[in-house]
Amino acid sequence: MSIKNKFCSLKNFILKNKSIIIVVLIFILSIVSLIIQNSREKASITINEEELQKNKYEGKIAVYISGEVKNPGVYYIEEDSRVVDLVQICGGFTEDADISELNLAEKLSDAEKIDVPKIIIEEEIDVLDNSILGDIQESEDNNSGLININTASKEELKELKGIGDTLADNIIEYRNQTKFETIEDILNVNGIGESKFEAIREYICVN
């Protein structure tokens, strides 16, 4: 078939199916138009979102607050804001917050971190307890193994070398009338001389 004949056949086909071809072309153009329109809308939305994000943080500073606040985190706040403003935005302090060292009137700066400490009670109690226990331990160490002749029972006094029932009774009788101020005062007890005192002096105390 010659080119001329082919052209004539195509022309006849177009003329014969003119209505259908027009409908198909309109449909295709509509699809292309919709695609172009959607692309433009998406581009416009993207640009608008970028502008909104930009405007959202314009003129603001980012500040991180942590510790004893109800909602710790990073907040964008006006440039001239103070610590008290930031605390209000994050929901306020917790019950355990120690604000004694916190300056609520301090102006905030960009990228600043505010840490709200916790009230330390348990550690203070532990320090106090350790101090008391240390004093008791020191006292016990100083008197370790010693018998207090002002408070010892008769049986405890009899544990001392050379002290029997009679001398133990004499010691108790003496201290009931006069408290031993020094260990040397035991020499005033009837029946205890220098030799007896030298034998027990390293093992007794008066407080």
**pLDDT tens-digit profile of 43-64?**
555 545 666 566 667 778 999 9
Report residue 134's pLDDT band, with 50, 70 and 90 as the boundaries. low
Helix then strand then coil, in percent of the chain rounded to 5, is 55, 15, 30
Per-residue DSSP letter, 119: P
3-state secondary structure of 66: strand
Least confident of 16-30, 55-69, 192-206: 16-30
Looking at the chain, how many residues does it have? 207
Model confidence pLDDT, tens digit, residues 72-111: 999 999 888 999 999 999 999 999 999 988 899 999 999 8
- Residue 172: count of CB within 10 angstroms of its CB: 15
CATH superfamily of 144-205: Photosystem II 12 kDa extrinsic protein (1.10.150.320)
Round to whole Å and give the CA distance between 174 and 82: 75
Q: Please give the structure tokens belonging to residue 140.
A: 């016990």
* pLDDT on residue 35: 84
Q: Is the CA virtual torsion 146, 152, 154, 155 positive or negative? A: negative
pLDDT mean over 125-142: 56
pTM beyond cutoff 0.85: no
